[in-house]
Amino acid sequence: MKKQQTGQSMDRVDGRLKVTGGAKYFADHQLPELLYAALVCSSISNGTIKSINTTKALRAPGVQDVISHLNAPPVPGYKNSDPNAKDGLKIFKDNRIYSNGQPVAIVLANTMERAVHAASLVEVQYNQETHYTDMNANMGKAFQNNRMKDYTRGEADAWKKAPVTIDATYSLPLEVHNPMELAGIIAHWDTPDTLVLYAKTQGVKNVQDTIKRLFQIPEQNITVHSQFVGGGFGMALRVWPLEIATIVAAKKVRKPVKLVITRDQMFTLVGYRPNAVQRLSLGATADGKLTGITHEAVAVTSPYEDFTEGIVSMSKFMYACPNVTTRYKLVPLNISTPIWMRGPGEATGAFALESAIDELSYKLNIDPLELRVLNHADTDPEKDLPFSSKYLKEAYQLGAEKIGWSNRKAAPRSMQEDGMLVGYGMSSGTFGAFRGKATVSATLKADGSLILQSAAADIGPGTATAMVQIAADVTGIAPAKIKFMLGESAYPFAPQQGGSSTVSTLGSAVTDACKALQQKLAGLAISHVPAFKNAAPETIIFEDGQLLRAGQSEKISYETILQQQQLPEVNVVATSQSGEERKKYSMYSFSVHFTKVHVHPATGVVRIKHIVSVADAGTIVNAKTARSQMIGGVVGGIGMALTEEAVMDHRFGRFVNNNYADYHVPVNADTPPTDVYFINKKDPYINPMGSKGMGEIALIGFAAAVSNAVYHATGKRVRDLPITPDKVLDEKGYQQWKLENKMST
């Protein structure tokens, strides 16, 4: 047998293209007669547009048109929608302004610079109305969405009766995805009802479907290209108004139009992780058994859509607790609609739950790791099902060993080194292990090469690379002879890249397509190859790219079958999805994060010195890209823990740090040595590979591992992210403890 490809650290199949600049992202494409677009965005947060004066803008050099609700061609899909339905912002439909930064016009010019300049010349007058952007000041407007009803298992709010309790409130600020690549699109109406798009998206089929609905043209008339995506983290999981605006503009001027938005517009046009306030209440027996968990969350949404996510999900099943209550409400504000951001709501919720568990451990005087093991859920207490696979306890042990947890002294603020307070913290994370439905086309060429196609996306994890490895193992064809093609709406259906589901969903379809291809080859062999004549199909064995008959020595390679039959290629298309197994088992991935931090005693500056993250994500398909993905998630977690916060001046409803200098994503200096480990044990039920998702768990829980370590280092519990130096110090900026001799030198 050839070497197993799954599990190897294969280099990315597109790595060379990416590092040499050969990879073409949406904005890299050029079309004849292309016009460049810039958006004019609202400077008020609630009200209506009184007037738009485009005289100066239209007079500026190179300007082709300025399009707004006053002159935009109608979007046919808007017509039938219920005006009261909360179904999204209908750009250019009317003069209503819901939030600051909402696009009010799009300017087209023959260079980007001219478009941007002309956009600054468009004069918009507004009828301003009172706006509401501060969640804390508008808690009275909180309401429940039907998707997220209250949940109670056992007795409601049982924590109150417990001998040992924790009742704490945690807050998370609004975070912005901020991938390096800015959002935008190129739109070109080939004919009045044929549209070509170069998009930044996590799913070309989703784009196609949305455009089909809004512009009411047949699916086959919409071509979406998205070969490479420069980071998404969730912000490209839907078609945004900015993309509709571009398509409308291209329709009006009958020329291709390219829009790339600006960094500040990334804060208002492409979603964000909603800020949330969470109350987490725990009850436990004196020996540390949880008797009650109540998790209440309030998060923000826009006036025109109810965005919900899994903020309170983890609390329902993470620990073996008989009584669990969750409540989740939304506060509608004059801001744009949120969208899933890596780890999504589960990451928000895990910060609260895993911080509270840590707080409980100190109150009980039980090691936080031990407390988690003590309350480990052996089966899913929410669904009352066994887990398909769960090696969380192994992950705890491995992580503890690798970080040196045994060196940790139990008492807070008891460890020092190099003049720094030292803290160790840990937490766990979990996210549903999904498997969706996807279709893959597999084509074997007469030269023995294999082409796989599916309309999947790769926002960075290395999708094509993993698929090549999976296909190589099923077919026995060398990876160098396999090509996986994605990012084209013309390919068979694949869902969006989101929810840590791509390897599971697409890998299963690749497996099934490759197996179907083998069966087709077997059929050809049985019909046409003398040595295989009349063989029962089940007696044919596939090995190293060849067909064998059980118990016989004859072999024939795949390509020889094609060559003998003078076939240029053989093609199969296979669709794959989950079955009954998902009713029998609860399927989750798990992660464990350990951190060691230094806190400067005088300035409150927190620096993470060492990270150990362990993933229980089933079979690891590519150890190298998987490690990269874990590190990427951890870096996002560092941002959540220490640096990221979009700050708004509520008087104006405008963000005041809407740029890369002031919105702090972690830099290399914030990112310490990060050791990633995988349990790497196959999940027997989820899919043919036994692989569970990993993109989300890399981040989920991480922030708590940092805040728990900061507490251990300092004795100060920071429940309000991010943990900036001022929060570690007291409100006057002093250390809350007396400066100790030589500690700060």
Partner 1 sequence: MNQFSYVRPASLKAAIDAVAKDNTARFIAGGTNLLDLMKSGVVIPEKLVDINRLPLKDIQLNGNTLHIGALALNSELAAHELVTTHHPLLSQALLAGASQQLRNMATVGGNMMQRTRCTYFYDTTMPCNKRSPNSGCGAIGGINRMHAIFGASESCIAVHPSDMCVALAALDATVLVTGPKGNRRIPFTDFHRLPGNTPQLDNNLAKGELITAVEIPANAYTKNVYYLKVRDRASYAFALVSVAAALDISNNVIRSARLAMGGVAHKPWRLYDAEKALAGKAPTEENFRHAADIALQSAKAYTHNQFKTGLSVNSIQTALLKAASV
Count of CB atoms within 10 A of residue 219's CB? 11
Q: Which is nearer to partner 1, 114 or 481 (CB)?
A: 114
Q: In the bound complex, what is the minimum distance in angstroms from residue 641's beta carbon to partner 1?
A: 12
Q: Which is nearer to partner 1, 404 or 733 (CB)?
A: 733
Order of strands, edge to edge, in the sheet holding 588-599? Answer: 416-417, 420-432, 588-599, 606-616, 674-678
Q: Tokens representing 57?
A: 């803008």
Order of strands, edge to edge, in the sheet holding 47-53? Answer: 96-97, 47-53, 123-128
Cα of 382 vs its chain's centroid, Å: 24
Q: How do beta strands 450-453 and 482-485 pair? A: parallel
CB contact at 8 A, 670 and 116: no
Count of CB atoms within 10 A of residue 536's CB? 9
Q: Tokens representing 643?
A: 């640096």
C-alpha 668/C-alpha 130 separation (Å) is: 42
Q: In the bound complex, what is the minimum distance in angstroms from residue 683's beta carbon to partner 1?
A: 38
CB contact at 8 A, 40 and 124: yes
> Of 367, 428, 405, nearest to 613 (Cα)?
428
Which residue out of 175, 559, 644, 696 is catalytically annotated? 696
Q: Tokens representing 447?
A: 């030269």
Residue 570, beta-bridge partner list: 444
CB contact at 8 A, 461 and 625: yes
Q: Which is nearer to partner 1, 359 or 644 (CB)?
A: 644
Q: Which is nearer to partner 1, 307 or 702 (CB)?
A: 702
Q: Which is nearer to partner 1, 137 or 667 (CB)?
A: 667
Q: Which is nearer to partner 1, 409 or 651 (CB)?
A: 651
696 catalytic per annotation: yes
Q: In the bound complex, what is the minimum distance in angstroms from residue 598's beta carbon to partner 1?
A: 11
Site residues for partner 1 per CB under 8 A: 43, 61, 113, 116-117, 120, 600, 602-605, 607, 642-643, 647, 649, 651-652, 654, 656-657, 661-662, 664, 666-670, 722, 724-726, 729-735, 739, 741, 744-745
Q: In the bound complex, what is the minimum distance in angstroms from residue 347's beta carbon to partner 1?
A: 20
- Measured in degrees and rounded to the nearest 5, phi and psi for residue 313 equal -60, -50
Q: In the bound complex, what is the minimum distance in angstroms from residue 205's beta carbon to partner 1?
A: 36
Category of 291 on φ-ψ map: left (φ > 0), alpha (ψ -120 to 50) or beta: alpha
Q: In the bound complex, what is the minimum distance in angstroms from residue 459's beta carbon to partner 1?
A: 25
C-alpha 271/C-alpha 338 separation (Å) is: 4
- Measured in degrees and rounded to the nearest 5, phi and psi for residue 318 equal -70, -35
Category of 545 on φ-ψ map: left (φ > 0), alpha (ψ -120 to 50) or beta: left
Q: In the bound complex, what is the minimum distance in angstroms from residue 642's beta carbon to partner 1?
A: 8
- Measured in degrees and rounded to the nearest 5, phi and psi for residue 348 equal -60, -50
Q: Which is nearer to partner 1, 117 or 596 (CB)?
A: 117
Q: Which residues are known catalytic residues?
A: 696
